[in-house]
Structure 1
C-alpha cells in the first residue's frame, strides 16, 4: 500500500501558523513522524494561504525534503504557478495532486506533469462536476487516462481518484467508490487507485470507525494507495493486515517487520 501522509496541510490549525512563521523545526518533525510511521509520500498543501501559496508551497517542499533526506512529496494544489515553483525545487519524482477533466484545469496542469515527469492524481470530475454513478466516473477516468498516456505519461504514474462523498448524504456513495475502483483496475492493469478517507464519514459520529472500515473494503476492491494520517497506528495496522490477507505481502514480511518495529496497534 502506497501511503500519502496528509498531515502537512494548512487547513489544520497547528500547521497554518507554523507555515506562516516558517517554523522549520515544527514542519520537519511532522514530516519525519509521517515517514517513520510508513508514509511513502509526504503531502504538502497550503491552499488556505491563497495569496502567498506559491512561496509557501516552495518553502514546504524544501523544508520537508531537507528534513527527510529527499523523501518525495505529493504537491497538493490546483494552482499551476504554485505547483511550478514547488516542482522546480523538488528532488526526485513527486506526485502532483491533482488533475481533473475540467478543461481549464487540465490544460494548465498537464504541461507540468509532462515537462517535470511527475506522477499525478487524476480526479474523476469534469466541468459538470462530480458524477453520481460509477459508470460516469469510469468514463471520465478512461478519458483522463487516454489523454495523459497520449502525451507520454506512463500508466503506472497515474493514480485514479474515484472521489469520496459522505455516506451521510447518500448511502450509495461507498458502493460507487468500490465499483469504480474495481472496474478501472480490471480495465487498466498497472493503474494505481487512490482516495482520501475522511470525506466518507463526514457528518457522522465516531468517524474513525467508518474511515477504518472503508479503507479495508476499498483495498478489497483494488485500492492500492491512500491519502491518510500514517501516525494513526490502528489505521496503518489495518493496512498491513489487509495486505497480508489479500496476498500482497509475500511470506508476511511487511507485517512482521511492522510488528518488530512497533508500528502495529496491539
Structure 2
C-alpha cells in the first residue's frame, strides 16, 4: 500500500504556525514520525495562494530532507510553488500533486513532470468541472492516462485520484468512489490510486470510524494508495491486515513483522 502522509499541510493549525515561525524542529519531528509510522511519501502543502507560498515550499522541502530521505508529494495548485519544491528536492523521485484534465492546468504542469521526471497524481476532473457520475470519472481518468502516457509518463508513475466526496453530502458518494477505483484498476492495472481517504468523512462525527471502514472497502475494490494519516495506528493496522487478506502479503510476512515491531493496534 502506498501511504502518502498527509500531516505536513498548512490547513492544520499547528503546521501553519510552525511554518509561519519557521519552526524547524516541529516540522522535522512530524516528518520523522510519519516515516517511522510507515509513510511511503511525505505530502508537503505550503498553503494556497499566499504570497510567499513558493518560498514556504522550498523551506519545507529543505527542512524535511535534512532528516528524512522519504520521497515527497509536492502538493500545490500553483505551478511556481511546485517548481520551487521540485528544484529544492534532493530526495528520491517525487510525485506532483496534482494535474487534472483541465487544459490550462494540464499544459502548465506537464513540463514539470517531464523536466523533473516525477510521478503525478491525476484528479478525475476536467474543464466541465467535477463529474457527478462514475462513468464520467472513469472516462476522464482514461483520457488523462492516455494523454500522460503519450507524453512519455510511465503507467506506474500515474496515481489516479477518484475525487472522493463526503458521504454526508450524498448517500451514493461512497459507492461512487469505490466503483470508480474498481473500474480504473480493472482497465489500467498498472496505474496506482491516490485516494484522499479522509474526504469521505468530512462533516460527520467520529470521522476516524468512517475513514477506517472506507479504507477496507476501497482496498477491496483495488485501491493501492491513499493520502492518509500514518500516525493513526489503527488505520495503519488495517492497511497491514487488509493487504494480508487481499493476497498482497505473502504468508502474512509484513503483517507479522509489523506485529513484532509493536505497530499493530
Specify the TM-score bucket, using the shorter chain as the normaliser: over 0.9
Cα distance in 2 for partners of 1:196, 1:114 equals: 25
Matched residue, 2:82 = 83
Q: Write out aligned runs for 1:234-245 (5 A).
A: 234-245=234-245
Mapped contact 1:10–1:49 kept (Cα < 8 A): no
Deviation at 1:111, TM superposition (A): 0.6
Q: Which runs of 5+ in 2 are unaligned?
A: none
* Pairing 1:141–2:138 present: no
Give how far 1:85 is off: 1.1
SS at match of 2:128: coil
Normalised to the residue count of structure 2, the TM-score between the two structures is 0.98
Do the aligned partners of 2:79 and 2:109 also contact (CA within 8 Å) in 1? yes
C-alpha separation in 1, matches of 2:20 and 2:209: 34
What's the CA shift string for 1:26-58, capped at 9, x where partnerless? 100000000000001000001246111000101
Gap regions ≥5 residues in structure 1: none
Q: Deviations over 1:147-194 (max 9, x none)?
A: 100010000000001011111111111111111111111111211012
Q: Is the 8 A contact 2:48 2:77 kept in 1?
A: no
Counterpart of 2:46?
46
Cα deviation code 1:207-229 (max 9, x no counterpart): 11111100110000000001111
Separation of aligned partners in 2, 1:171 and 1:188: 27
- CA distance, structure 1, for counterparts of residue 22 and residue 167 of structure 2: 38
Equivalences for residues 40-189 of structure 1 within 5 A: 40-48=40-48, 50-68=50-68, 70-91=69-90, 92-189=92-189
Which moves more between the two structures, 151-160 or 85-94? 85-94
Aligned length: 264
Q: Is the 8 A contact 1:9 1:16 kept in 2?
A: yes
CA RMSD in angstroms, aligned pairs only: 0.9
8 Å CA contact 1:11, 1:48 repeated in 2:
no
Deviation at 1:143, TM superposition (A): 0.5
**What SS does the aligned partner of 2:38 have?**
coil
- 3-state DSSP class of the match of 1:51? coil
Cα offset, 1:126, TM superposition: 0.8
Taking the aligned partners of 2:85 and 2:202, their CA distance within structure 1 comes to 31
- The 2-side partners of 1:62 and 1:219 are apart by 33
TM-score by length of 1: 0.97
- Which residue of structure 2 lines up, in the alignment, with residue 28 of structure 1? 28
Q: Judge conservation of contact 2:120–2:158 (CA < 8 Å) in 1.
A: yes
